[in-house]
């Protein structure tokens, strides 16, 4: 996935490589978003104050921390609920604020990865796979997303797809013992 930047005037999302809001080379079209953001930005009763950003981040961090504690004590359903609340809160960020897309993408990547692990531990492999898939789409070069996806696919007995996902993860983290072990286990069953 190509990277994005905020234009120098701070009003448009563009591809980083070519600084165009519609770029055929990067296969990106942010024109609709930019039009919507411009409309919302010029509507004073909809534009939040800067306090919104300050309150959302700590709330998300607290929910994630509580989810982690529930996960560590094997209360997987409770951890899923807390991660889900954090995900919903992240989505509530006003996307017309500068760099909101990058912040939300980073938050969602981590939160979906944690929730995938919780679903997996609770043996809800389909939900674990869906979250793992979303992580790989949000941050293609993050090996943890590929690990989550591969583990869920393997548990669903979709071994060829699991092998592909684990191999992809190893491309981004060639020294990962966890991915190497998983790939070896997958290949033994093929």
In 3-state terms, what secondary structure has residue 13? strand
Q: Are 98 and 12 in contact (CB under 8 A)?
A: no
Q: Are 28 and 17 in contact (CB under 8 A)?
A: no
Q: Kind of pairing, strands 28-29 and 22-23? A: antiparallel
Whether pLDDT at 169 is above 70: yes
Q: Give the chain's domains with CATH numbers.
A: 1-47 (no CATH), 49-122 (1.20.58), 125-190 (1.25.40.10)
Over residues 9-65, the pLDDT tens digits come to 666 777 777 888 888 887 777 777 677 666 656 655 554 444 445 578 899 999 999
Cα-Cα-Cα-Cα torsion 140, 167, 79, 156, nearest 10 degrees, comes to 120
Paired residues of 29 in beta bridges: 22
Count of other CB atoms within 10 angstroms of residue 41: 15
Range 63-81 average pLDDT:
97
Over residues 85-96, the pLDDT tens digits come to 999 998 887 766
What is the per-residue pLDDT for 1? 44
Whether pLDDT at 76 is above 90: yes
Task: Supply the DSSP string of 101-121, one letter for each residue.
Answer: HHHHHHHHHHHHHHHHHHHHH
**Long-range pairs, 12-15, Cβ under 8 A, ≥24:** 12/37, 13/37, 13/101
Over residues 135-151, the pLDDT tens digits come to 999 999 999 999 999 99
The one-character DSSP state at 3 is -
DSSP H helices, the chain, are 31-41, 51-72, 76-91, 100-121, 125-138, 143-155, 159-172, 177-189
Residue positions counted in the chain: 190
Q: How far apart are CA 166 and CA 149, in angstroms?
A: 8
Average pLDDT value for the chain: 86
């Amino acid at each position: 996935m190509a990277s994005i930047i905020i234009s120098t005037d701070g009003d448009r999302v563009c591809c980083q490589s070519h600084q165009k809001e519609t770029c055929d080379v990067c296969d990106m079209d942010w024109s609709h978003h930019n039009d919507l953001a411009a409309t919302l930005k010029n509507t004073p009763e909809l534009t939040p104050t800067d306090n919104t950003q300050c309150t959302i981040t700590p709330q998300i961090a607290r929910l994630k921390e509580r989810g982690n504690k529930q996960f560590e004590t094997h209360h997987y359903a409770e951890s899923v609920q807390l991660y889900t609340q954090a995900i919903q809160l992240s989505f509530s960020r006003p996307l017309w604020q500068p760099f909101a897309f990058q912040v939300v993408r980073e938050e969602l990547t981590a939160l979906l990865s944690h929730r995938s692990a919780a679903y997996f531990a609770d043996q809800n492999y389909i939900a674990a796979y869906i979250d793992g898939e979303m992580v790989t789409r949000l941050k293609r070069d993050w090996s943890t997303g590929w690990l989550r996806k591969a583990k869920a696919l393997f548990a669903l007995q979709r071994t060829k797809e699991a092998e592909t996902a684990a191999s992809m993860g190893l491309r981004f983290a060639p020294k990962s013992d966890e991915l190497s072990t998983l790939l070896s286990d997958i290949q033994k069953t093929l």
